[in-house]
């Protein structure tokens, strides 16, 4: 018998097949009209809505994105064409550039 004394979670990776399987089974379980599934979903939602650390993390992330957008715009002298030229579309979308 082999015992693992220490697990390094930062190096653990799941395969694409395992990810798809997890999503399928998880979604099936939550979609069933099941008392436990509803209770679980309600408990998770409540915990997330009341988590002060999560709220603070979201606020901090929003602030950093806003700061990054402002720095980019000021660095490029508010030139929309320069922003389009130098920043890929998916990154512009993430940063909130609407052009």
What's the mean pLDDT in 50-54?
90
Q: How confident is the model at residue 3 (pLDDT cuts 50, 70, 90)?
A: very low
Spatial CA neighbour of 96 closest among 59, 58, 70, 74: 70
Q: Which of the pair, 34 or 83, is modelled with greater confidence?
A: 83
**What single-letter DSSP state applies at residue 87?**
S
What is the reported pTM? 0.52
Task: Please give the torsion angle defined by the CA atoms of residues 58, 62, 64 and 66, in that order, rounded to the nearest 10 degrees.
Answer: 180
Tell me what pLDDT residue 74 has. 92
Q: What percent of the chain has pLDDT over 70?
A: 82
On the question of pLDDT at 54 being above 80, the answer is yes
In the block, residue with structure tokens 């715009």: 73
**What burial letters (b/e) apply to 37-72, b meaning 16+ CB within 10 Å?**
eeeeeeeeeeeeeeeeeeeeeeeeeeeeeeeebeeb
């Amino acid at each position: 018998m082999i015992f693992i004394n220490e697990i390094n979670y930062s190096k653990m990776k799941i395969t694409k097949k395992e990810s798809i399987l997890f999503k399928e089974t998880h979604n099936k379980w939550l979609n069933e009209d099941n008392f436990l599934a509803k209770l679980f979903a309600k408990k998770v939602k409540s915990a997330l809505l009341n988590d002060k650390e999560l709220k603070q993390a979201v606020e901090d992330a929003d602030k950093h994105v806003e700061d990054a957008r402002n720095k980019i715009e000021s660095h490029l002298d508010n030139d929309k064409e320069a922003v389009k030229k130098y920043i890929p579309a998916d990154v512009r979308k993430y940063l909130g550039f609407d052009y």
